[in-house]
Amino acid sequence: MTTFAQIAPLLEGQAIEVPSWAYGNSGTRFKVFGTPGTPRTVAEKVADAATVHRLTGLAPSVALHIPWDLVDDFAALRRYAEDLGVALGTINSNTFQDDDYKLGALTHTDPKVRQKAVDHHYECIEVMHATGSRDLKIWLAEGSNYPGQADLRGRQDRLAEGLRTIYDRLDGDQRLVLEYKLFEPAFYHTDVPDWGTAYAHVAALGERAVVCLDTGHHAPGTNIEFIVAQLLRLGKLGSFDFNSRFYADDDLIVGAADPFQLFRILFEVVRGGGYGPANPDGRSDVAFMLDQCHNVEPKVPGQIRSVLNVQEMLARALLVDRDALAAAQESGDVLGANAIFMDAFYTDVRPDLAAWRAERGLPADPIRAYAESGYQAEIEAARVGGSQLSWT
């Protein structure tokens, strides 16, 4: 049996990037609710993200979405973030909120629209130079609603060409991270609907093109941990967008809907070498990120809960006695292997994690520390006037 003391050193390098948009208002197509204290500026979003990191030690960077997070001076935003103890992370492009993109962006039949989408990605790469970001994450809201509406094959060819043009603009260790999603906003076909299509495109591009797996972007019942294992095996798992779902792309708190699924995913990450000291900074090349929205719950504690959930399930995944498991698997001990796996999942690591945090000068209970910190009252009092940010 592996003990918490044995795995504790492995928790040291864990980093979970938080999304700037989690701090803004969000909702469904029916209603976006305003919440007191919601940021009016990108700097205020960064301040909220830094609060999550200060209380958990788990979230040292914040992802930006362009144009939602466009500012005049990204170098200044970077300095501001660094002063607060966090870095600016992944830059997410956005080709889904402009009228020109109604029938596609990189896949559009009109070369002018395709060029506009490529130019937007060039702009994102410029931002990456100023922010020091490594990853350009591309999710494309492209597809069609009706059979016959679009030339499926022609769109793939145009997509490949657009991605190539963008990829060729990247510099140094910058990466292109392609995110897939089964459906929405298109309902009949989506141009990058699954890991296989994403893999086909990034494999054609080259070494610095990888896949982003958003846990909410699959059909119900999909074995996501199998996809994790396969992408790691192929060397193409670039990042996660963690969240949880009951029905579609719900963007709820990671681990809330199905903690066991999160455990199984993280076990495959560990098993496949996707977590741990691959690089000098002690981190693997697989970026852990959240992609969530807090529509009805308070946002900063929602993010704190999320990073703690990932840490907790990672600890449980690390607790799996891999040698014993391999022996049981090899000897065909079906029930024995399953029991070893489940033992780790059922181990309550919360008291050990609280002690682990306290030893490092972090609050043993970050949610409670947030409630007692007065931060929420402070932002509610200070952030009056102006317009609260949301995804529009």
- The structure tokens listed for 389 are 């940010």
191 binds, among ligand PSV, Mn ion, none (CB under 5 to 8 A by kind): none
Of the residues 44, 135, 291, 312, which one makes contact with ligand PSV according to CB under 6 A:
291
All residues at 6 or more sequence positions from 311 whose CB lies less than 8 Å from its CB, including other chains: 11, 14, 16, 56, 58, 353
Of the residues 139, 167, 263, 267, which one makes contact with ligand PSV according to CB under 6 A:
139
Beta carbon of residue 263, minimum distance to ligand PSV (angstroms, whole number): 22
Residues forming beta bridges with residue 92, ordered by sequence position: 65, 137
- The structure tokens listed for 168 are 């060729």
Question: Which positions from 18 through 37 interact with ligand PSV, judged by CB under 6 A?
Answer: 21
Residues 336 and 328 sit within 8 Å (Cβ to Cβ): yes
DSSP structure string for 33-45: ---TT--SSHHHH
Q: Is 279 exposed, middle or buried (0-12, 13-18, 19+ CB in 10 A)?
A: exposed
Beta carbon of residue 193, minimum distance to Mn ion (angstroms, whole number): 14
Residue 272 is classified by DSSP as: T
Give the strand pairing for 143-144 and 189-190. Answer: antiparallel
Beta carbon of residue 379, minimum distance to Mn ion (angstroms, whole number): 26
Beta carbon of residue 330, minimum distance to ligand PSV (angstroms, whole number): 39
- Taking the least distance from each CB to ligand PSV, the nearer of 21 and 288 is 21
- Taking the least distance from each CB to ligand PSV, the nearer of 23 and 139 is 139
Side chain identity at 254, as an amino acid letter?
V
For 177, 263, 320, 337, 361, the CA distances from 333, given in Å and listed in that order, are 39, 22, 16, 6, 43
Question: Which positions from 187 through 226 interact with Mn ion, judged by CB under 5 A?
Answer: 214
- The C-alpha atoms of residue 289 and residue 28 are separated, in whole angstroms, by 22
Give residue number: closest CB to ligand PSV.
Answer: 139
Beta carbon of residue 181, minimum distance to ligand PSV (angstroms, whole number): 6
Q: In the stretch 61-80, what mask flags binding to ligand PSV with x, by CB under 6 A?
A: --------------------
For 305, 308, 342, 365, the CA distances from 368, given in Å and listed in that order, are 11, 13, 30, 5
Beta carbon of residue 179, minimum distance to ligand PSV (angstroms, whole number): 5
Verify binding: residue 92, ligand PSV, rule CB under 6 A: yes
- Taking the least distance from each CB to Mn ion, the nearer of 65 and 316 is 65
DSSP structure string for 141-205: --EESSTTSS-HHHHHHHHHHHHHHHHHH--TT-EEEEE--SSSS-SSEESS-SHHHHHHHHHHH
- Taking the least distance from each CB to ligand PSV, the nearer of 242 and 356 is 242
3-class SS at 216? coil
- Taking the least distance from each CB to Mn ion, the nearer of 241 and 312 is 241
Give the strand pairing for 87-92 and 61-65. Answer: parallel
Query: Which string of b and e fits 103-112 if b means at least 16 CB within 10 Å?
Result: ebbbbbeeee
Of the residues 48, 69, 142, 241, which one makes contact with ligand PSV according to CB under 6 A:
241
Question: Which positions from 223 through 262 interact with Mn ion, judged by CB under 5 A?
Answer: 241
Beta carbon of residue 332, minimum distance to ligand PSV (angstroms, whole number): 40
All residues at 6 or more sequence positions from 189 whose CB lies less than 8 Å from its CB, including other chains: 143, 144, 150, 152
Of the residues 291, 308, 357, 363, which one makes contact with Mn ion according to CB under 5 A:
291
Beta carbon of residue 259, minimum distance to ligand PSV (angstroms, whole number): 21
249 binds, among Mn ion, ligand PSV, none (CB under 5 to 8 A by kind): ligand PSV
236 binds, among Mn ion, ligand PSV, none (CB under 5 to 8 A by kind): none
Question: Which positions from 155 through 194 interact with ligand PSV, judged by CB under 6 A?
Answer: 179, 181
92 binds, among ligand PSV, Mn ion, none (CB under 5 to 8 A by kind): ligand PSV
Binding site for ligand PSV (CB under 6 A): 21, 92, 139, 179, 181, 214, 241, 249, 291
Binding site for Mn ion (CB under 5 A): 214, 241, 291
